[in-house]
């Protein structure tokens, strides 16, 4: 019974408050801006303004922290995306540079062997360099073609612009090339156009300098002349290279230790420090062995 009375009282109070509120709103919107209710409203705003500012200032660090957290999260996300984009651009640049370098070497190989007399009767097998000498002597390289591709021992190997070496060992799918910069290498050669002959040997440890020895003292040699393979065997070793493969150019001539000869320094055409692709002249080794005599 008591509870019902309380409920009725609360309802009555609520009804009175609703009626008063509607009456005040009616008066407020009906009076002019200088009326008493408008003045009371402005006074209330003035009185509570410091409190409102204080609450706003109190919560500002929290709002700033929330904004900073959002900014940090967005910055981290953007940074991650930028790093991903940079990595992709680096990869694209590296691939582009690699493709450009490979293309330059392959074009140089094509330019060297196209219509060249030394390729007559041979099949050209293009191979990629997969291993290099573990030292700075630039003596050997490994290629990704072998006997299954028709490659045999002692076949000539051409690099971009000039002679590289010969096949010294073969497996089914790979081969090893002994470069003309190896200490065991010797190549019979001649200086063009006069045909002065000699033997090209390495300046061990310096792939940018080959030595043409046993050139007759009276030979007419000039800086810039081209040195090519002569196509014959010397008395000191095999020369299983067909005639006319470019080796390098004359860069310096000096007296030899042997009185009757001169020593010629050659700048090789092949860049032994940066061999990526080579071509093997296959099918010529057996023919040359039959033709050549000690």
Residues in the chain: 294
Domain end marker among 59, 80, 114: 114
Cβ neighbours of 205 (radius 10 Å): 13
pLDDT band at 216 (very low <50, low <70, confident <90, very high): confident
Whether residue 247 sits in one domain with residue 160: yes
Q: Kindly state whether residues 55 and 110 are assigned to the same domain.
A: yes
User: Which of 32-36, 158-162, 280-284 is the least confident region?
Assistant: 32-36
Query: Can you give the residue range of the structural domain that contains 156?
Result: 118-294
What average pLDDT does the structure give for the chain?
79
Let me know if residue 34 belongs to a domain: no
Structural domain ending residue among the three candidates 64, 89, 114: 114
pLDDT bin (cut points 50, 70, 90) of residue 289 is: very low
pLDDT of residue 294: 40
Give CA 206 to chain center in angstroms.
Answer: 26
**In this structure, are 105 and 154 located in the same domain?**
no
As a whole number of angstroms, the distance between CA 234 and CA 290 comes to 16
Residue 196: which CATH number?
Answer: 2.40.10.340
From start to end of the chain, where are the E strands? Answer: 123-132, 140-143, 156-159, 162-170, 175-179, 187-192, 196-202, 210-216, 226-229, 246-255, 261-268, 277-282
Tell me, yes or no, whether 196 lies in a domain: yes
pLDDT, tens only, 188-203: 999 998 888 999 999 8
pLDDT in tens, 109-141: 888 888 888 888 889 999 999 998 876 667 899
Section 199-219 average pLDDT: 87
Q: Residue 293 — very low, low, confident or very high, per pLDDT cuts 50/70/90?
A: very low
User: Based on the structure, what is the number of domains in the chain?
Assistant: 2
Q: Is residue 24 part of a domain?
A: no
Looking at the predicted structure, is the pLDDT value of residue 175 above 80? yes
Let me know whether 226 and 276 are in one domain.
yes
pTM of the model: 0.65
142 occurs within a structural domain: yes
Last residue of a domain, one of 114, 145, 163: 114
* pLDDT band per the 50, 70, 90 thresholds, residue 228: very high
């Amino acid at each position: 019974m008591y509870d019902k009375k309380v409920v009725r009282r609360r309802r009555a109070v609520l009804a009175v408050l609703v009626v008063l509120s509607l009456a005040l709103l009616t008066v407020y919107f009906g009076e002019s801006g200088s009326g008493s209710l408008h003045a009371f409203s402005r006074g209330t705003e003035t009185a509570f303004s410091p409190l409102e500012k204080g609450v706003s200032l109190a919560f500002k660090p929290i709002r700033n922290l929330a904004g900073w957290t959002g900014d940090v999260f967005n910055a981290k996300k953007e940074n991650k995306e930028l790093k991903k984009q940079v990595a992709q651009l680096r990869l694209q640049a590296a691939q582009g540079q690699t493709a450009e370098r490979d293309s330059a070497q392959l074009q140089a190989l094509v330019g060297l062997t196209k219509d060249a007399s030394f390729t007559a009767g041979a099949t050209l097998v293009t191979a990629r360099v997969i291993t290099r000498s573990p030292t700075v002597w630039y003596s050997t390289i490994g290629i990704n073609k072998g006997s299954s591709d028709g490659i045999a021992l002692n076949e000539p190997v051409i690099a971009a612009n000039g002679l590289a070496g010969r096949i010294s060992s073969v497996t089914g799918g790979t081969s090893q090339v002994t470069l003309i910069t190896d200490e065991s290498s010797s190549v019979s050669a001649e200086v063009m156009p006069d045909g002065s002959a000699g033997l090209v040997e390495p300046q061990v440890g310096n792939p940018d300098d080959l030595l043409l020895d046993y050139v007759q003292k009276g030979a007419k040699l000039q800086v810039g002349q081209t040195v090519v393979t002569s196509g014959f065997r010397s008395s000191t070793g095999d020369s299983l290279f067909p005639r006319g493969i470019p080796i390098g150019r004359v860069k310096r001539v000096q007296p030899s230790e042997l009185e009757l000869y001169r020593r010629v320094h050659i700048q090789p055409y092949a860049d032994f420090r940066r061999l990526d692709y080579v071509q093997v002249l296959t099918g010529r080794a057996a023919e040359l062995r039959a033709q050549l005599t000690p």
